[in-house]
Amino acid sequence: MVHIRTRPWRLSLIIAEPPIHLTAVFWAAKYFVTKGKPLEADSLIAGFSAMDKYQRKDVLYNLWDQWLAGSDKGRAAKAIFPNIRERLRCKWVDPTSDTIRILSGHGPFGTYLYDRTLSQHPNCLTDGLRDDPNNVVFDCFDVPDAMYDIRRRVESRSLSDAVRSESDWPILSGAFRALVGSREVASLRLRVSVRHEMVAYSLIHGQLYPLGIGESIHTELCPAS
Which residues contact Zn ion (rule: CB under 5 A)?
Answer: 124, 126-127, 140
We find the least distance from the C-beta atom of residue 127 to Zn ion, in angstroms, to be 4
Q: Which is nearer to Zn ion, 18 or 133 (CB)?
A: 133
We find the least distance from the C-beta atom of residue 155 to Zn ion, in angstroms, to be 21
Q: Which is nearer to Zn ion, 127 or 184 (CB)?
A: 127
Q: Which is nearer to Zn ion, 86 or 142 (CB)?
A: 142
E-assigned strand segments in 17-87: none
Q: Which is nearer to Zn ion, 87 or 130 (CB)?
A: 130
Q: What angle do CA 165, 137, 117 make, to 5 degrees?
A: 130
Give the gyration radius of the chain's Cα atoms: 20
We find the least distance from the C-beta atom of residue 128 to Zn ion, in angstroms, to be 8
We find the least distance from the C-beta atom of residue 123 to Zn ion, in angstroms, to be 8
**Based on the number of CB atoms within 10 Å of its own CB, is 163 exposed (0-12), middle (13-18) or buried (19 or more)?**
buried
We find the least distance from the C-beta atom of residue 94 to Zn ion, in angstroms, to be 26
Q: Which is nearer to Zn ion, 90 or 140 (CB)?
A: 140
Tell me phi and psi for residue 123, to 5 degrees. -95, 160
Q: What angle do CA 182, 186, 192 make, to 5 degrees?
A: 130
Q: Which is nearer to Zn ion, 104 or 111 (CB)?
A: 111
We find the least distance from the C-beta atom of residue 96 to Zn ion, in angstroms, to be 23
Residue nearest to Zn ion (CB): 124
Selection from 89, 71, 70, 73 nearest residue 81 by Cα:
89
d(CA 175, CA 145): 8
Half-sphere exposure of 40 (CA within 13 A, CB side): 12
d(CA 29, CA 41): 4
